[in-house]
Amino acid sequence: MIIFELQCEAGHRFEGWFGDSQDYEQQKQQGLLTCPMCDGHNVSKMPGVVPFIKKSTRQPSSEQQQQIETKSKSDSKAINKKRRRRRKQEVNVDPVVLLKTLHHHVRTKFENVGSRFYDEVVKMHRGESPKRGIYGHVTHEQQEKLDEQEIPYATLPKLGPEFEN
């Protein structure tokens, strides 16, 4: 088994598992190598990365060797498929569920400072009060002042009433 660090033309990096380096060349020539992030076919090995090779401890006869090679080829393809599927599922998240989770997390884990948000963030930024998760609201002017001072904050996108519960 050999593992290559691969990269697509969009710059996504991922691992490819192969029976051996010939297996890699074959899959590449047949267009079987695709990026799990963007499905791009222009995939190449990362330069300078030493592949991880898992060696078999036994020395099988040539006939057995043939069988094992065939098996490992299909195995590595199956693994590649499995890995691709898993990565896709991770990316495939309902944005409404994600936003609701984010809102819930902020409401339950962060301190609600309401209209004092601007003062609290500035104090935290200056080290005058302990760093912690807070939420609240700011006026347009306060938001501009935060930007001017390059104080980091995040704006939670609002969910319309049609998404409530």
Q: Got the DSSP string for 50-83?
A: PPEE---SS---HHHHHHHHHHHHHHHHHHHHHH
Q: Of 40-48, 79-87, 125-133, 135-143, which part binds Zn ion (CB under 5 A)?
A: 40-48
Instruction: Pick from 12, 45, 84, 116 the residue near Zn ion by CB under 5 A.
Output: 12
Q: Which of 40, 83, 124, 142 binds Zn ion (CB under 5 A)?
A: 40
Under the binding rule (CB under 5 A), the answer on residue 8 touching Zn ion is: yes
Number of residues that bind Zn ion (CB under 5 A): 7
Position 121 contacts Zn ion (CB under 5 A)? no
Q: Is 45 in the site for Zn ion (CB under 5 A)?
A: no
Contact region with Zn ion (CB under 5 A), list: 6-14, 75-83, 107-115, 125-133: 6-14
Q: Give 37-40's long-range contacts (Cβ < 8 A, gap of 24+).
A: 37/8, 37/10, 37/12, 37/87, 37/91, 38/8, 38/10, 38/12, 40/8, 40/9, 40/10, 40/12
CA atoms within a 13 Å half-sphere pointing along the CA-CB vector of 61: 2
Q: Is 37 in the site for Zn ion (CB under 5 A)?
A: yes
Residue 38, interface with Zn ion (CB under 5 A)?
yes
Nearest residue (CB) to Zn ion, 12 versus 83: 12
